[in-house]
Amino acid sequence: MRIDARGAVARLKRGWGARGAVAVLTVAVLAGCGSSSSSSASGSQAAASGSAKGSPITFGSIAAINTPTGNYPGIFAALKAGAAEVNQTGGINGHPVKIWTCNTQGTAAGEIDCARSAASSGVLAVISDLNAFSSFKEYGQILSSAGVLDIENTGPYPNGFEGSTAFPLTLSLGTLVGCLSSPLARAAGGNKVALITQAIPPTETLDAIDANIAKAQGTKIVKTILVPQTAPDLASTVAEAQGSGANIVMLQIPFGDQPQTFVRDSSAAGAHYAICSPIGITGQGGWAGTGSAANNLYVAADFAPLTSSAPGMKQFLSQMQAVGASSDLTPATFKGQYVDAWLGMQAAVQAAKNVSGPVTRASLKAAMAKTSATFGGVIPPIDFSKAPASPAGSNLPLMQAYTRVFSSPAYLWKWIPSQNQYKEEGSFTNAFAQAAFGKIS
């Protein structure tokens, strides 16, 4: 995952899209949400059953579903999966969990509309919201002004969390470390990187962060190639990448199936560089049929692959399968934001269980600020009682909120076409601190 950056992957000044990925992160007229959203109405009832009998506690999520530029059904599925297990074991202090959802339709107006709908409803916390086009300042302030918690926003880079009710769990920039890492350079046979990114200004801040990470990891960005969101093919982009002499091509192109198109066109051109994409911006459709270049394909993430033996990962997979969401876990559909949503749900539930009286927006915020949340080894525990502080020398906007997760690891996955899955290629401790955020000019 899991950034105004570039479209859905880059919104560090404008608002990102991969823990997503980045991390990150991908979505792009009107929104269907709140009471007018079909997903909201059904989702609100989906997880409120089981043995719990008290008044429901409502958590929500905001994302793009079935849009030309992004489709994230697994975000909603992960929240419903977590809620279903909680409800089967008595709910939160006897209260069932209800899940409210809002489909942004992949537009800025839709994202703002969903935030307003969450604020005006009974939603206590928005978990794993994926907003990529709207102003994060406006979006975040809508939630914070209403007292709605914003937990694990999987859309932005650092300036995505605006307001006093934000609780980040991961930092999508961390996923960039793997694609710019020295282990990948060794596997690729050289440290020269060509960066393929969206031609959506402003890009200066993310470019500076990429350069800082590369410097810290011993790699070097030798060429930055901009592509439009709607490029029908990327053959000319492949030719530019080949002409750059790069050993690694890093993809920051989150829209539609552009990552798959780039791999396919690289195969047709007989390219020999390694290709790496931050998770959350790995495109739509999976890697099957992309040709020989897929044999040298990598994904950078902020957690180990789904094949990880971490108890939390096994729990996530079991819960998703229990609610019939297995299709969201296939290589063609899986995105890092789905795990991020599950992580956010774990934090929200653990905090809510620490509330001694009624669970309200205010009491949940107070409980979150005192909770040390655990995630079954998927990511390190986060102690929200520790006040965040700006990293030494950093002038990156609002990085303070993320210092709780600076010590989180980053991972590099390698795609194995014959097995139709990823394997862990390497991991990086203290990845965010090592990413040399320092002075961003």
At residue 431 the predicted structure's pLDDT band, cuts being 50, 70 and 90, is: low
Q: Check which CATH number belongs to the domain holding 197 and give it.
A: 3.40.50.2300
Which residues does 220 contact at the CB level (< 8 Å), separation at least 6?
191, 192, 193, 214
* Mean pLDDT on 272-277: 96
The stretch 2-13 carries a mean pLDDT of 31
The mean pLDDT of 265-272, rounded to a whole number, is 97
**pLDDT at site 22:** 33
Instruction: Give percent above pLDDT 70 in the chain.
Output: 76
Check if the beta carbon of residue 21 is closer than 8 Å to that of residue 172. Answer: yes
Alpha helices in 89-243 (DSSP H): 108-120, 136-146, 175-179, 182-188, 204-217, 235-243
255 lies in a domain? yes
Q: Which residues contact 246 (CB under 8 A, 6 or more apart)?
A: 192, 193, 194, 222, 223, 273
What 3-state class would DSSP assign to 246?
A: coil
The answer to whether residue 203 is domain-embedded is yes
Question: Residues with Cβ < 8 Å from 420, sequence gap 6 or more?
Answer: 288, 331
Q: What is the pLDDT of residues 378-414, one digit of tens each?
A: 998 988 887 665 555 555 544 555 666 766 788 899 9
Task: Please list, in sequence order, all residues whose beta carbon lies within 8 angstroms of the beta carbon of residue 125, skipping any fewer than 6 positions away.
Answer: 59, 60, 148, 149, 150, 151, 348, 361, 364
- Quick check: 429 pLDDT over 80? no
Closest CA to 350 of 373, 334, 327: 373
Host H or E run for residue 340: helix 336-352
424 in a domain, yes or no? no
| CA neighbor of 91 nearest in space, from 349, 356, 364, 314 | 349
Is 327 contained in some domain? Answer: no
pLDDT average, residue stretch 359-381? 94
d(CA 10, CA 20): 9
Average pLDDT, the chain: 81
| pLDDT tens string 230-253 | 778 899 999 999 999 999 999 988
Higher model confidence: residue 88 or residue 129? 88
Position 28 pLDDT exceeds 50: no
Nearest to 207 by CA among 3, 17, 434: 3
pLDDT at 135: 73
In a domain, 250, yes or no: yes
Closest CA to 133 of 115, 148, 147, 152: 115
pLDDT of 112 reads 93
How large is the greatest C-alpha to C-alpha distance in the chain, in angstroms? 65
The whole model's pTM is what? 0.83
The whole-angstrom separation of Cα 341 and Cα 344 is: 5
- Contact in structure between 387 and 159 (CB atoms under 8 Å): no
Specify the amino acid at residue 39: S
Instruction: Give residue 203's pLDDT.
Output: 52
Three-class secondary structure of residue 123 per DSSP: coil
pLDDT above 90 (res 371): yes
Residue range(s) defining the domain that contains residue 265: 175-301
The torsion angles phi and psi of 409, rounded to 5 degrees, stand at -80, 165
**Residue 304: strand, helix, or coil:** coil
Q: Please tell me which residue, 93 or 21, carries the higher pLDDT value.
A: 93
pLDDT of residue 440: 39
Residue 368 lies in a domain: no
Q: Which of 191, 245, 194, 203 is nearest to 223 (CA)?
A: 194
Q: pLDDT for 197-241, tens place per residue?
A: 886 544 556 777 788 888 888 899 999 999 887 778 899 999 999
Does 1 score more than 50 pLDDT?
Answer: no
> Rounded to an integer, what distance in angstroms lies between the CA atom of residue 131 and that of residue 111?
6
Q: pLDDT, tens digit, for every residue of 298-350?
A: 999 989 999 999 999 999 999 999 999 999 998 888 988 999 999 999 999 99
- Residue-wise pLDDT tens digits, 247-267: 999 998 877 789 999 999 999
Per the domain annotation, does 359 fall within a domain? no
Q: How many CA atoms lie within 13 A of 421 on its CB side?
A: 10
In a domain, residue 207? The reply is yes
Q: How confident is the model at residue 186 (pLDDT cuts 50, 70, 90)?
A: very high
Question: Can you give the pLDDT at residue 54?
Answer: 84
- Dump pLDDT digits (tens) for 34-88: 433 333 333 344 455 556 678 999 999 999 998 877 789 999 999 999 999 999 9
So what's the pLDDT on residue 441?
36
Tally of domains within the chain: 1
pLDDT of residue 123: 98
